[in-house]
């Protein structure tokens, strides 16, 4: 099989109960009305009745598998900036942005890369195009964004800039970010103040996952996975370069499930390996190939509350779903910019309510799907 060819639309992968998806008047002084509208959130595009015209870019509904099969996944919407998530800017901020032409507080995503959800399903995002880390408090409709952290040391305060934030995780009030260019994992609070920085034993951290009191870190340069506690103290490591069980060839993304199992995207070996809570090898998903159930360049991995495993493939622009035994359930996606289409997708995160967030990196957006099938 060719490594560079994309899956054929006719390829079908099945498991019990599943089938693959198919693919008017002018104003004498216009500045004041516009300024007031910008400051107080009045609709600029409304007609005389105050209603808005339909958005020309509204996405059509799409489900997988396509009818007449029973749908399992549905496209919900795409997000490209904070206001797409429902974040409200203050009137003063809108007015300031209108005056300056800036988008402060509503900066568009440039290359969303890694995603994670906390205990309340609040969303964390790393943007490697802007070298920034973002946090969405969904209950408060609040968006926080950091391109640098404040570090208070013996010589006073200093700023630590993100250089290449490629992975993120959050527990309580602490956000953990793996910065591959800095060769470290940074832990900080919601005020953007550094709590500690992991540099010892790391070369190029590429993936993060939390399980209990353990922080798992994938290191692509060392072809290994390391364990730390939540204070940053080293607890162990496993893996080396190779193709056998428990060996890696540039591991990237990590995920855990409620049983504490660890899922490692072994990217250049075109597979996902599964380990127990102590790092012992259990199984693997996929292998190199261009048909459903195979991978070209697997990236983000996540597990839903039923134990199904979701794997993003950046080479084929697809999302593949496997049951807990590793059987392929569904294969969807293709290159493009429409709903369920991708351009070098990367991270993935799944909420307790079956919301599936996918970092569609080069389309500069996050796509949200939802599981709608039977239990």
Is residue 368 over pLDDT 70?
yes
CB distance 334 to 318 below 8 Å: yes
158-189: per-residue pLDDT in tens?
899 999 999 999 999 999 999 999 999 999 99
Domain 63-78+112-371 has CATH 2.120.10.30: yes
Pairing of strands 281-285, 298-303: unpaired
| % of the chain exceeding 70 in pLDDT | 83
**Long-range contacts for 3-7 (Cβ within 8 Å, ≥24 apart)?**
3/288, 3/290, 3/296, 3/315, 4/296, 4/315, 5/290, 6/290, 6/315, 6/316, 6/317, 6/334, 6/335, 7/290, 7/291, 7/292, 7/316, 7/318, 7/331
Band of pLDDT at residue 98, cut at 50, 70 and 90: confident
Place of tokens 């899922």: 263
Element (H, E) at 96: helix 91-100
Rg (the chain; Cα; Å): 22
Q: What does pLDDT average to over the chain?
A: 86
180-231: per-residue pLDDT in tens?
999 999 999 999 999 999 999 999 999 999 999 999 999 999 999 999 999 9
pLDDT at 2: 40
pLDDT at 219: 98
DSSP state of 266: E
307-333: per-residue pLDDT in tens?
999 999 999 999 999 999 999 999 999
Angle made by CA atoms 209, 131, 345, in degrees to the nearest 5 = 60
pLDDT at 194: 97
Q: Which residues contact 33 (CB under 8 A, 6 or more apart)?
A: 27
CB distance 186 to 193 below 8 Å: no
pLDDT at 99: 76
What does the alpha-carbon distance between residue 159 and residue 222 come to, in Å, rounded to a whole number?
28
């Amino acid at each position: 099989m060719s490594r560079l060819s994309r899956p054929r639309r006719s390829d079908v992968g099945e498991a019990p109960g599943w089938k693959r998806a198919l693919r008017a008047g002018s104003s004498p002084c216009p500045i004041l009305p516009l300024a007031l509208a910008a400051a107080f959130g009045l609709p600029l595009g409304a007609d005389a009745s105050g209603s808005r015209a339909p958005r020309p870019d509204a996405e059509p509904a799409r489900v997988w598998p396509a009818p007449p099969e029973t749908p399992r996944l549905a496209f919900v919407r795409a997000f490209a900036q904070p206001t797409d998530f429902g974040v409200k800017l203050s009137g003063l901020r809108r007015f300031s942005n209108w005056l300056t032409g800036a988008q402060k507080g509503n900066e568009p995503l440039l290359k969303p890369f890694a995603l994670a959800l906390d205990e309340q399903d609040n969303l964390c995002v790393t943007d490697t195009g802007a070298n920034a880390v973002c946090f969405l408090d969904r209950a408060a409709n609040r968006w926080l964004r950091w391109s640098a952290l404040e570090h208070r040391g013996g010589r006073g305060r200093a700023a630590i800039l993100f250089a290449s934030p490629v992975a993120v995780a959050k527990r309580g009030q602490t956000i953990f970010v793996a910065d591959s260019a800095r060769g470290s994992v940074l832990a900080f609070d919601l005020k953007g103040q550094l709590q500690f920085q992991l540099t010892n034993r790391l070369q190029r951290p590429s993936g993060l996952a939390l399980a209990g009191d353990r922080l798992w870190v994938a290191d692509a340069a060392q072809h290994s996975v390391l364990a730390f506690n939540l204070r940053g103290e080293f607890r162990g490591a496993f893996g080396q370069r190779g193709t056998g069980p428990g060996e890696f060839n540039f591991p990237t993304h990590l995920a855990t499930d409620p049983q504490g199992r660890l899922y490692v995207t072994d990217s250049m070996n075109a597979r996902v390996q599964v380990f127990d809570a102590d790092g012992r090898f259990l199984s693997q998903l996929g292998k190199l190939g261009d048909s459903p159930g195979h991978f070209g360049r697997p990236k983000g991995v996540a597990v839903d509350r039923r134990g199904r495993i979701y794997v993003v493939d950046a080479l084929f622009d697809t999302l593949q779903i496997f049951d807990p035994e590793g059987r392929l359930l569904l294969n969807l996606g293709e290159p493009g910019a429409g709903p369920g289409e991708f351009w070098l997708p990367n991270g993935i995160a799944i909420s307790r309510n079956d919301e599936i967030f996918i970092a569609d990196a080069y389309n500069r957006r996050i796509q949200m799907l939802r599981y709608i099938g039977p239990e």
